[in-house]
Amino acid sequence: MCEVCGKAFKVRDGLKSHFLTHSEKKFKCDTCGKLFHSIVKLKAHATLHTREKPYICDICGKAFAQLGNLNVHIKRHEQPVFICTICSKRFRQEKRYQSHLKKHEEKEYRQYLKETCKSLTCRYCSKSFKSAYVLTKHENKHRQGPKPICNECGKTFRTLQNLKRHMMIHTGERPYVCDVCGKAFNQLQYLNTHVMIHTGEKPYSCEICGKSFRQNQNRRQHMKSHGVKGRKLLELEKHRNSTNGNNMEDSTSLEDVENSTNVEDMEDSISVEDVEDCTSDETDDDI
């Protein structure tokens, strides 16, 4: 125990070093005049002026002026090292390593989109697209003549079929009726989606986590939550389907939404349960 301040120590050397703090600083640096309690500390200080680095790391060869700094350095070698397989950059923290890998993924994804879109350019207006199907659909707009128009409200449509569906807004016609609950719809696709509420059917599954959905558009929206991997799978899916001549867009398009007789139709087509499926962690088996 220190006789001056009463502080206790487990070993005698610790007490001796501490006791010097109460004594007069007798050791003076000849270069700058700074005083020290011990010759050991003076010698360590002197290396700052001489730039001498006598303590060398046996692992990497790095030199240090003080032994304490070498010991701190050696501990870094003992920590796990994460090496990027793409650029060989090294990290001591896994969190920073994972963050670094995501930057490579984002860069690769942007490059992928850039290369993919090079050849998918409209011959009429030079607009670029991410899939051949969407490009073809866009170019058809340039080649088509006058669009079908609604005589009631003057709204125009891409196809005559869309105009006919729109007319049900004015006529109030709902020819598609649910056999289970009797609810009526102005479009067959809305009825088919509504029936899944009764059957519990969820035919669209996420390729990454297996989560199921009643509508393909909700599955696609969910896959975007998986980040780069999800978005890239969606792009590949679009190209694969455009090559096969299939329409990758969900049957419920923007024009279909506008053609719906009221909001209630769309609430059954794009159900609340499906919206919750996109944000919840588990798939509801029962409706």
Q: pLDDT digit string (tens) for 40-66?
A: 778 778 777 777 788 889 888 888 877
* Model confidence pLDDT, tens digit, residues 78-109: 766 788 877 888 887 888 888 888 888 777 76
% pLDDT > 70, the chain = 75
* Model confidence pLDDT, tens digit, residues 163-212: 888 888 888 888 889 999 999 988 888 888 899 889 989 999 998 999 99
Residue 285 pLDDT class (50, 70, 90 cuts): very low
Query: Quick check: helix, strand or coil at residue 159?
Result: coil
**What token pair was written down for 39?**
């010759």
C-alpha to C-alpha distance for 271 and 185, rounded to whole angstroms: 14
Most confident of 74-83, 151-160, 247-256: 151-160
The pLDDT mean for the chain works out to 75
Comparing C-alpha atoms, which of 194, 216, 190, 192 is closest to residue 203? 216
pLDDT at res. 75: 80
Mean pLDDT of 249-271: 43
pLDDT at res. 114: 63
Lowest mean pLDDT among 92-106, 130-144, 228-242, 247-261: 247-261
229, amino acid identity = K
Phi, psi for 82 (deg, rounded to 5): -105, 120
Comparing C-alpha atoms, which of 47, 18, 49, 43 is closest to residue 28? 43
* Exposure string for 123-149, b = 16+ CB within 10 A, e = fewer: eeeeeebbbbbbbeeebeeeeeeeeee
pLDDT of 261 higher than 70: no
pLDDT at res. 177: 92
Q: Of residues 22 and 170, which shows the higher confidence score?
A: 170
Looking at the domain that runs over 12-78, which CATH code has it been given? 3.30.160.60
Most confident of 37-41, 180-184, 238-242: 180-184
Looking at the domain that runs over 132-279, which CATH code has it been given? 3.30.160.60
pLDDT of 287 higher than 70: no
**What token pair was written down for 44?**
């360590």
Burial of 101 (0-12, 13-18, 19+ CB in 10 A): middle
